[in-house]
Amino acid sequence: MSNDVFVITEHMEGKFSDVSFEMVGKAKELASALGGQTVAVVLGGGVDAGVFASDAALQVEDPALVQFNPEACGKVVEALVREKSPRLVLFGWTATGMDLAAWLSARLGQPCVAYVKGISVDGGGLTVSSQVYGGKMIAEVAPQGGMAVLAVLAGSFPVEAGQGSTAASKVASPVPLDGLKIKFVEAVKPAAGDVDITAQAKLVSIGRGIGGKENVELAEELAEALGGTVSASRPVVDAGWLPRTRQVGKSGLKVKPKLYLMLGISGAPEHLEGMKSAELIIAINTDKKAPIFNVAHYGATADLFEVVEAMLELL
Amino acid sequence: MNIVVAIKHIPSIADELPVNGSNIDFDSVDFVLNEFDEQSIEQAVLVKEASGGTVTVVGVDLIGELDNVLHLALAKGADNAVKITADEPGADSHQQAGWLAEAIRGMSPDIVFTGVQASNDLDGQIGPMLAAYLDLPYIGGVSSVEVNGGTATVNKEFAGGVGAKYAVSLPVVVGVQAASKPPRYAPISKVRQIAQTAAIGKVAPSGDGAGAGLALKKMAPPVATGHAEMLTGSSKDVAAKIVELLKSKGLA
């Protein structure tokens, strides 16, 4: 067992995601406290892997790793981790990292913490904070045992601390990657034709609190009166009340409008990822403990329908 | 085709979450079906309707109230329901995945659906763990599934509408982000009728299951680094204040 900290980075179309740098920056601090090294693990080629501030960078190249493949990535990471026995393995709590972290934990019989917001080392012991229950609670846990797998929420640590120029050593896959059960077929591009919510200056964004498809019209009226567009949190889109092109958040789009007026959105971490840089955030919610009130600039605990109708009269 | 859906009964986040010691006070909260499991049940039923087979929904009965959820799943088109009688409100994902794997192994599934995540997945999601315990591949973040013979074609979402299509040889564990159609509505009369007649299979868990290996030190609401300036008064007052604010910033 070493005291190294492995960061499983992620990239798409030749570019690393911010969370990769965020994790490397944090990993440096942790490795220094633990007395180990920081290793940035890059799965697949087609990207310049010499961009991290880690002690080492390891780029695994194989035809099966050209596009993201959870089975291929899982096999490679498991083999690397078994061979090198790092103290910590960091993944992003992202569309790719979420396929791998809990799986690796179960394969290795080592603990996993998801929704990670903070990590600290104190006298060799590890304390991890996790933002659970839709952002309503922070759990502080101490992973037991010699290794821990952590899945980190994007935006938890600064990007800059992870940026650097450590040259990557390129290696072949430590395990054969033929006979995979999962095969990449093709990339899927976003559906065109709808308004681009990332280009809108004003968004009226609706959440589960809107209650039903029949109420979307009210939000549309308000958006129109303000000269903006309606966007939504994931549950609204999953319920089929608005198309996926309107979804803000981790699995949707990242927006930075001048106005983000939120109706009935509680503010789960996945949603915050997509809108927290908006210039003016106003949230209306019936739950006074909704996490969104820790992020919004202005808030009101009120019935959104009454407020919207009254606003329409004034506009 | 043998379609299995593994579900999670979780504390509702719609209400207050009281704390007892260093964890949620499970006696004082309502338990609900994980919202992503509603999607995964729907996706399973859609696959059955398109390609034939049976859908078995299985979950760990943490507080003795899983029947309601299973009746709803049956009303939505599942064929069989099984509960694992654990009576362990605080069971973590690792424990639940271990028990679910035990129960599912004997069902010889062709495809296992789970919700992609749950809000109480402190130690990770049950889907990838189930895959690891059953020695099956896992793919999550999935928003559509079609099965043809021994192959499933799935769409996985990355972000912002960007995704990828994968072909997967069955059996596989799939983590559903969203079903290819919005979950159907089950009339309450149908759920009631099923509640009177349905036979729910019972499985006792063997032992405590291997836990997550996490020592929980504290559970508390986040310490706010900032808080919204709250606009108070009646709904009309709030509306007037918002409009005034927007006008002052040139936004209305």
Residues B84-108 pLDDT 10s? 999 899 999 999 999 999 999 999 9
Contacts of residue B28, Cβ cutoff 8 Å, sequence gap at least 6: B18, B20
Per-residue pLDDT of chain B (252 residues; tens, 9 = 90+): 999 999 999 999 988 899 999 999 999 999 999 999 999 999 999 999 999 999 999 999 999 999 999 999 999 999 999 999 998 999 999 999 999 999 999 999 999 999 999 999 999 999 999 999 999 999 999 999 999 999 999 999 998 778 999 999 999 999 999 999 999 999 999 999 999 999 999 999 987 777 889 999 999 999 877 889 999 999 999 999 999 999 999 998
What six digits make up the tokens of B85?
């009688």
Neighbours of B218 (CB within 10 A): 15
The ipTM value here is 0.95
Nearest CA in chain B to A187: B164
Nearest CA in chain B to A247: B160
Task: Tell me the whole-structure pTM to 2 decimals.
Answer: 0.93
Nearest Cα of chain A lies from the Cα of B154 at a distance, in angstroms, of 10
- As a whole number of angstroms, the distance between CA A77 and CA A6 comes to 10
- As a whole number of angstroms, the distance between CA A304 and CA B236 comes to 11
A/B interface, count of CB pairs below 8 Å = 292
Q: Mean pLDDT for each 10-residue chunk of chain A (315 residues)? A: 95 94 98 97 96 98 96 98 98 97 97 97 90 96 95 96 97 96 93 85 96 96 96 93 92 94 94 94 94 94 96 95
CB within 8 Å: B213 and A183: no
Q: Quick one: pLDDT at residue B192?
A: 96
Contact B160, A253 (CB under 8 A): yes
- As a whole number of angstroms, the distance between CA A282 and CA A296 comes to 6
SS3 B60: strand
Tell me if chain A has a CB within 8 Å of the CB of B96: no
Nearest Cα of chain B lies from the Cα of A166 at a distance, in angstroms, of 28
Unique residue bearing structure tokens 């379609």: B3
Residues A37-87 pLDDT 10s? 999 999 999 999 999 999 999 999 999 999 999 999 999 999 999 999 999
Cβ-based contacts of B224 with chain A (< 8 Å): 294
What six digits make up the tokens of A276?
């927290």
Cβ-based contacts of A313 with chain B (< 8 Å): 239
SS3 A121: strand
Biggest CA–CA distance in chain A, Å, is 67
Mutate to test the interface with A, among B235, B247, B248 (most CBs of A within 10 A): B235
What letters, b where the CB count within 10 A reaches 16 and e where it falls short, cover A2-12?
Answer: bbbbbbbbbbb
